[in-house]
Structure 1
Amino acid sequence: MKNLKINVTRLIIAALIFGLGGLSFLIYIRTRDVLNTNLETQISSLTLSSSAEVGLWLFAHKKELEVMANTPLIKSGDREVIISYINKEKERTKDYEQFFVANSIGEAFSDENQSVSAADRDYFKKVMSTGQSIISDPMISRGSNNPIIVIAAPIIKDNKVIGLVGGNIRLMDLNRIVTSKIVGEIGNAHLVQQDGLIITHPNPKLMLTYNPLNDNDAAPDLKIAVRKMTQGETGFTRFSVNNEAQYLAYVPVPGVQWSMGVTVPATYVTNQLRYLPISFIAVTVFFGFILAFFLNRWLVKPLTELEKYSTELNANLYKKADYYQLNSPVIEVKSLETNFRKMVVALQETFEEIENSKSNLKNEIKEKTMIQEDLKKSYEELWASEEELRCNFEKLQSKEKSLIESERRFRSLLENVKLVTGILDKSGRLIFVNDFALGLMGYEKEEVIGQSFINIFIPDALRGNAIRWFKECLNNKLITVKDYEPIQTKNGEIRYVAWNHTLLYDSEGNVTGVASIGKDITEFKIFQEKLEHMSFHDSLTDLYNRTYFEEKMRLLERGDSTPVGIIVCDVNGLKLVNDSLGHCAGDKLLRLTASLIKKSFREEDLIFRIGGDEFAIILPKSELLVVEHACNRIRKSVERYNLENEEFPLSLSMGFAVSEKTNVNLDEVFKEADDGMYRQKLHRSKSARSAIVYAMMKALEARDFITEGHADRLQNLVVSLGGAMSLSQRTLADLRLLAKFHDIGKVGIPDRILFKPGRLTEEEFKEMQRHSDIGHRIAQSAPDLLPIADFILRHHEWWNGQGYPLGLKEEEIPLECRILAIADAYDAMTNNRPYRKAMTQKQAFQELNDKKGIQFDPTLVPIFIRVIMGTNYHLYGT
């Protein structure tokens, strides 16, 4: 019996160890399968979200290029304006290595004003043939030799593709987006283009150099997966690289013909299971010894004592030993103990009863054995069910974690993206809005969540349309998108958002709401409206420009606005004002003219500036009499202005014409009015110039430039010198006129230079020198000053040729100019100036002698000194 006990104990321990060990192995296998399944789900989900993130990043950049291509600045064709604009965009975005603009034949220039050619590039051919925006495959930049991708958007004008706007993005920047931190936690991500070439990878050596389809040593499973990636399929596979197992999940990237792959080493699973067998073995051994201890205590020892007791009893009742032998050691300990106690008390009296009930006892033992077996099977089934439930629970927990993580990444993406992002349920209430939108609109999250988006953000006048649009989208399961929609901030400000809406569905395909992402384009829209205003208005007068004038004439020819009257006005003497007083004075004259014309018409009448000095007025549905009255209003406005402002006269030449009531040809009407204006201008231009010149002469006399009485003293000096030289009366008259108006050109010199108290700088002196040329042009426009026009131009020439503006010398300089130069210098030296005090007469004579043969005619200086010495008292009174 002792040997039997030892063998049974060892057998029980061995059975427990092997049983639990086998169970451990099965759990290991099941756990590994569950981890592999979860890993596939996790990698596939991660690949899908990463691909969507890359696609959204590329989509956002493509939209930026499309917005740029639609700006009037790009469509204007002005190279300098376009370069300035794309340089500002480059500084703003920071993602682009270079911007460039190409015309319809591929001639392009970059933001650095470098001329390049894009005609041989595939993306250029695709954009020009399809009129759609393109994201190119990687290529080498011709400017920087860096690997890049090009995003190109068509420039469309009058429904025709006239060129494209392109932006170069460094491939390393795209690689940084693809190999993000989240992917890097468990593996690496890469992009594959349509021919299988790897274009991004954590290992830069593989970028644009490795194509698994062309590698004979590549694993077959990898080649199959890459081939599926090039076909835009989604999947999951396992392959080996350098005897190392790898998992690969792949999905196409939205918006491009690329596919994203995420690889994870198989060791990621085995590392998680590394300590699982050891743990199970330790647990198995531990429970084996515990069970052995309790079996020895609760089963083996009682049976041993029962065996000893039975032996003693058997010795006393040996006669009938067959009746009380134990045939099986599996009887329950308590039952055996109870039965044997009863047998000790009444064995002698009931020996025969025991013999009779022996068969009954055997049946009972069998029945209990069967019950015990049933209980053991039930326990095993319950244990197996418990294990299955536990595995299912762990699987659900793992899936729940994956879903939570996926939701966290998606919510983080929506929270951090710099776009207006929100989600609405079927009733139009907000269930999500990101911080960027809240900051833009001025709300706190508690104020908007659960509230109607339309009631909060849509202006009152547009709410009806917005409600109808929302209901139609839900009912038709189709989103209709407009270019932009206005929304209202908390403080009542209207902002404009370009939306991208997506319907949300439940598992049964029912619409549950709408997810919306939008870009705030308020500043862009304001800028665009400003550009539109500038494109049809003159920047100086804010009247309509020539472009809108021609467009309006085309529209009126097709409409029912006959008869149409046209008035053409031209500012007389504008060139003279620009040449003499500068373009600032000319611009002021043009603005004054525009103001007077506008005051003569109603606010809704169409007034245009169609040329430098030319204005036009279109009067639809106006008879000849109405047009004549309009011309009279303009003339009266000019006359009133000239009466109230005598210092500078305004003169306009006008012509007008009226179309017939049928067969309207406004080009002929305009030509007739323009011809009438020019006929009037031929009669009035000379008198207008004379009036302007005499206004300048009057202004010169009133100001008496530099010093008081200078012109009068100078006339006396030149006449005295000319008389001493026996010059004719006509020459003396020209000298007197030259002395009075030789500096008339100074009316065109700014006062800051003309009356500067100190010495002039080099630039200021060059500006001052212009007064000779300005005075020459003024004198040519006035009949009274025409005889001295050339003298005014040359009165600052020096005897040695170092004067200005022509560099004449000696006898090339007119005599009148040589006389004036000596007299003007003497008067300037003997009178106070803002920058110095007057010299004595002696000092002035010495200065004239020093400059004799340099600045002044050497034969005239002695004559001038003798004249002054002889007439000094009479001229100056000292």
Structure 2
Amino acid sequence: MQFRTIKTKLLLLFVPVTVIVLVISAFVITHSVKTTVQNLVEKETNEKVTVMEMMVEEWLTGIKNQVYYLANSSMAKSMKPENYLTAFAEVVKNSNGLFDYILLANPGGDYINREGAVANIKDRDYHKDIFVLRKNVSVSNALISKGSGKPIIVIAYPVYGENNALVGMVAATVNIESMSNRISALAYAEGEFALVVDGTGMTVAHSSDPNLIMSLNVLHSEQKGFIGLEEAGTNMTKGEAGASSYKNPDGGTYQLFYKPIPGTSNWSLGVGVLETNITAKSGSLVVLLFITFGILIVVVAVVAYIVGIVVTTPIKEVGKELKRFGELDFTKTVSKADAFLDRKDEIGQITVGLSKMVGEVRST
């Protein structure tokens, strides 16, 4: 291919310019696509966090209502074991494992335990919440039940007697495995999970890894190989909403979106999304974009080549006639260039002028 031909020059003009324009456009659009996809993922995940947070709040509210009802019942207000022990035991029995135990303690912290003996819980935070801080309700952080060995929380309500005097406290130990079961039952994308942490940073529910329940504390997670999770954990235990990036022990990088759970002591629910899943969504669009641009470059090159042929073919024929005229060869009376006489463009004008010139020379 000779670089002095019009076809070549058209290709060298249109193709590089097209490539430059498309490359610049590709970078701009790629950045825009990645930003848009990131924003969409954040929006979808935050919506999922909100739905789950409402679900956990609803779960807690339902339990609170049951305990509140017991604390305001006449059997609890009587403070007589013969009035409430059997009824409380029935509630536990019919709770499908939700309640581990329900007790009624006096202001001194004494209550009847599972074995029927008197025990004391005055040193427990929920006892202090009700009798010292005079809270209307107390929701503890997670702990392991000494009776069942399962992870539990304690929800306590005050019991008021005559003249609105604070006479006792109903405390229900709640099996929080049911909370994990609820969030695990939801649909998750590959590489996505949900977790709930209490006010101390302890993981009390996890949708995909039950081994982390009561094992992973997000405030001390780096020692278990979770790099960067402690920053999110600090915000979560402060009752803040937000998003943070961290690395799992297996090296996977996750975006964790979290939100506080109302009615708790700084509990928080979070949804983790594998970052490669986010980039994969934008990556497929970017690949499609570059394929499209590649096709456009080929199309432009083909069009430029065809245009070159269309433009140069009549010029070549006119050029042959000019060369023949320059050699003073007037023997041919019919030329391929005559086909361009009716054209209204520059080629037609040149052909008409050449034809007149040849005619005048012949007539002399």
Q: Which TM-score bucket, shorter chain as reference?
A: 0.7 to 0.9
Q: How many aligned positions are there?
A: 338
Question: Given residue 7 of structure 1, which amino acid in structure 2 is its aligned partner?
Answer: T
Alignment match of 1:157 (pick from 155, 158, 161): 161
Distance 1:186 1:254, change over 3 A: farther
Distance 1:211 1:142, change over 3 A: closer
Question: Given residue 307 of structure 2, which amino acid in structure 1 is its aligned partner?
Answer: W
Distance 1:244 1:161, change over 3 A: same
Distance 1:182 1:208, change over 3 A: same
Q: What residue number does 2:255 align with?
A: 247
Q: What residue number does 2:230 align with?
A: 223
Alignment match of 1:166 (pick from 154, 162, 171): 171
Query: After superposition, what is the alpha-carbon deviation per residue over 1:822-866, rounded to whole angstroms, capped at 9, x for unaligned?
Result: xxxxxxxxxxxxxxxxxxxxxxxxxxxxxxxxxxxxxxxxxxxxx
Structure 2 counterpart SS, 1:256: coil
Structure 1 counterpart SS, 2:239: coil
Distance 1:290 1:185, change over 3 A: closer
Query: After superposition, what is the alpha-carbon deviation per residue over 1:353-412, rounded to whole angstroms, capped at 9, x for unaligned?
Result: xxxxxxxxxxxxxxxxxxxxxxxxxxxxxxxxxxxxxxxxxxxxxxxxxxxxxxxxxxxx
Q: What residue number does 1:290 align with?
A: 299
Query: After superposition, what is the alpha-carbon deviation per residue over 1:187-245, rounded to whole angstroms, capped at 9, x for unaligned?
Result: 11222233333332332332223334334556774332221212111112223334432
Q: Is the 8 A contact 2:142 2:202 kept in 1?
A: no
Distance 1:106 1:40, change over 3 A: same
Distance 1:143 1:241, change over 3 A: closer
- Does residue 209 of structure 1 match 2:211? no
Q: What residue number does 1:237 align with?
A: 244
Distance 1:183 1:276, change over 3 A: closer
Structure 1 counterpart SS, 2:147: coil
Q: What residue number does 1:340 align with?
A: 350
Question: Given residue 233 of structure 1, which amino acid in structure 2 is its aligned partner?
Answer: E
Aligned-pair identity in percent equals 22
- Report the Cα distance in structure 2 between the residues aligned to 1:151 and 1:36, rounded to whole angstroms: 39
- CA shift at 1:82, angstroms? 0.9
Q: Is the 8 A contact 2:121 2:127 kept in 1?
A: yes
- Does residue 188 of structure 1 match 2:197? no
Alignment match of 2:317 (pick from 308, 325, 334): 308
- CA shift at 1:259, angstroms? 1.6
Alignment match of 2:91 (pick from 89, 92, 95): 89
Question: Given residue 279 of structure 1, which amino acid in structure 2 is its aligned partner?
Answer: L
Q: What residue number does 2:9 align with?
A: 8
Distance 1:34 1:254, change over 3 A: same
Q: Is the 8 A contact 1:100 1:109 kept in 2?
A: yes
Q: Which has the higher contact order (CA 8 A, sep 6+)?
A: 2
- Does residue 280 of structure 1 match 2:279? no
- Does residue 122 of structure 1 match 2:125? yes
Spell out the pairing of 1:386-785 with structure 2 (5 A cutoff): none
Spell out the pairing of 1:9-24 with structure 2 (5 A cutoff): 10-11=11-12, 12-13=14-15, 15-17=17-19, 19-24=21-26
Runs of 4+ with >6 A deviation: none
Question: Given residue 54 of structure 1, which amino acid in structure 2 is its aligned partner?
Answer: V
Q: Is the 8 A contact 2:141 2:200 kept in 1?
A: no
- CA shift at 1:111, angstroms? 6.8
Structure 1 counterpart SS, 2:46: helix
- Does residue 134 of structure 1 match 2:142? no
Q: What residue number does 1:299 align with?
A: 308
- Does residue 74 of structure 1 match 2:76? yes
- CA shift at 1:124, angstroms? 1.4
- Report the Cα distance in structure 1 between the residues aligned to 2:38 and 2:120, rounded to whole angstroms: 52
Question: Given residue 147 of structure 2, which amino acid in structure 1 is its aligned partner?
Answer: G
Structure 2 counterpart SS, 1:275: helix
Spell out the pairing of 1:791-810 with structure 2 (5 A cutoff): none
Structure 1 counterpart SS, 2:99: coil
Distance 1:334 1:105, change over 3 A: farther
Question: Given residue 349 of structure 2, which amino acid in structure 1 is its aligned partner?
Answer: N
Q: TM-score, normalization: structure 1?
A: 0.36
- Report the Cα distance in structure 2 between the residues aligned to 1:297 and 1:196, rounded to whole angstroms: 69
Alignment match of 1:106 (pick from 105, 109, 113): 109
Structure 2 counterpart SS, 1:238: strand
Distance 1:335 1:184, change over 3 A: closer
Distance 1:111 1:296, change over 3 A: same
- CA shift at 1:92, angstroms? 4.1
- Report the Cα distance in structure 2 between the residues aligned to 1:240 and 1:9, rounded to whole angstroms: 53
Q: Is the 8 A contact 1:83 1:111 kept in 2?
A: no
Structure 2: runs of 5+ lacking an equivalent: 329-342
Q: Is the 8 A contact 2:11 2:304 kept in 1?
A: no
Distance 1:241 1:186, change over 3 A: closer
Q: Is the 8 A contact 2:256 2:270 kept in 1?
A: yes
- Report the Cα distance in structure 1 between the residues aligned to 2:109 and 2:354, rounded to whole angstroms: 117
Distance 1:189 1:132, change over 3 A: same
Q: Is the 8 A contact 1:131 1:161 kept in 2?
A: no
Structure 1 counterpart SS, 2:300: helix
- Report the Cα distance in structure 2 between the residues aligned to 1:87 and 1:221, rounded to whole angstroms: 45
Q: Is the 8 A contact 1:179 1:190 kept in 2?
A: no
Distance 1:148 1:349, change over 3 A: same
Q: TM-score, normalization: structure 2?
A: 0.80
Q: Mean Cα displacement is larger for which, 229-238 or 203-212?
A: 203-212
- Report the Cα distance in structure 2 between the residues aligned to 1:212 and 1:123, rounded to whole angstroms: 23
- Report the Cα distance in structure 2 between the residues aligned to 1:185 and 1:157, rounded to whole angstroms: 54
- Report the Cα distance in structure 2 between the residues aligned to 1:169 and 1:298, rounded to whole angstroms: 80
- Report the Cα distance in structure 2 between the residues aligned to 1:91 and 1:215, rounded to whole angstroms: 37
Spell out the pairing of 1:838-877 with structure 2 (5 A cutoff): none
Structure 1: runs of 5+ lacking an equivalent: 320-332, 351-878
- Report the Cα distance in structure 2 between the residues aligned to 1:112 and 1:92, rounded to whole angstroms: 20
Q: Mean Cα displacement is larger for which, 286-295 or 69-78?
A: 286-295
Q: Is the 8 A contact 2:227 2:248 kept in 1?
A: no
Question: Given residue 346 of structure 2, which amino acid in structure 1 is its aligned partner?
Answer: L
Structure 2 counterpart SS, 1:97: strand
Query: After superposition, what is the alpha-carbon deviation per residue over 1:509-538, rounded to whole angstroms, capped at 9, x for unaligned?
Result: xxxxxxxxxxxxxxxxxxxxxxxxxxxxxx
Distance 1:195 1:90, change over 3 A: closer
Distance 1:160 1:185, change over 3 A: farther
Q: Is the 8 A contact 2:258 2:271 kept in 1?
A: yes
- Report the Cα distance in structure 1 between the residues aligned to 2:94 and 2:353, rounded to whole angstroms: 104
